Amino acid sequence: MKKVTMRDIGKAAGVSAVTVSKALAGKPGMSGEVRSRILQIAEELHYQYPDADTLRLRSQLDIGILIPEAYFEPNSFYSVLYRKLITRLSGDGHFGLLELLNEADEAALRLPHLIDARHVDGLILLGQPSKEYYRMISGAGTPIVFLDFYDEQGSADAVVGDNTYGCYRLTSHLIKNGHRDIGFVGNARATSSIMDRFLGYYRAMLLHDLPLERAWIISDRDGRNNLIPLKLPEKLPTAFVCNCDVVASRLISALRQRGLRVPEDVSVTGFDDFTDAAPTDVPLSTFHVDTDGMIELAVKAVTERCSGSRKPFGRMVVGGQPVYRRSEMRRED
pLDDT at 278: 63
pLDDT band at 49 (very low <50, low <70, confident <90, very high): low
Beta-strand ranges (E) seen in the chain are 62-68, 95-101, 122-126, 144-147, 157-161, 182-185, 217-218, 239-242, 267-269, 286-289, 315-318, 320-323
Sequence-distant (≥ 6) Cβ neighbours of residue 184 within 8 angstroms = 198, 201, 202, 216, 217, 218, 240, 241, 242, 243
Of 204, 178, 179, 184, the C-alpha closest to 271 is 184
Domain 163-289 in the same topology as domain 61-161+291-318? yes
Task: For residue range 185-205, list pLDDT tens digits in order.
Answer: 999 999 999 999 999 999 999
151 to 88, 109, 141, 185, 308: CA distances (angstroms): 25, 18, 17, 23, 21
Beta strands in 89-216 (DSSP E): 95-101, 122-126, 144-147, 157-161, 182-185
Q: Please state the pTM of the whole predicted model.
A: 0.81
Tell me what pLDDT residue 7 has. 78
Q: State the Cα–Cα distance between residues 330 and 69, nearest whole angstrom.
A: 40
Q: Compute the distance between CA of residue 232 and CA of residue 18 in angstroms, rounded to an integer.
A: 52
Percent of residues, the chain, with pLDDT higher than 90: 65
pLDDT given at position 323: 97
Domain residue extents for the chain? 6-57, 61-161+291-318, 163-289
pLDDT for res 24? 76
Residue 28 has pLDDT above 70, yes or no: no
Check if the beta carbon of residue 209 is closer than 8 Å to that of residue 324: no
What is the topology classification, in CATH, of domain 163-289?
Answer: Rossmann fold (3.40.50)
Interval 129-180: pLDDT, tens:
999 999 999 888 899 999 999 997 767 899 999 999 999 999 999 999 999 9
Report yes or no: 190 and 148 within 8 Å, Cβ to Cβ.
no
pLDDT digits (tens, 9 = 90+) for 222-241: 877 888 999 999 999 999 99
DSSP-derived secondary structure letter, 66: E
Domain 61-161+291-318: give its CATH code. 3.40.50.2300
Which of 55-64, 68-77, 209-218 is predicted most confidently? 209-218
- Residue 1 pLDDT: 55
pLDDT at 311 over 80: no
Of 94, 142, 136, nearest in space to 122 by CA? 142
Residue 114's DSSP bridge partners are none
Is the pLDDT confidence value at 27 over 80? no
Q: Indicate the CATH number for domain 6-57.
A: 1.10.260
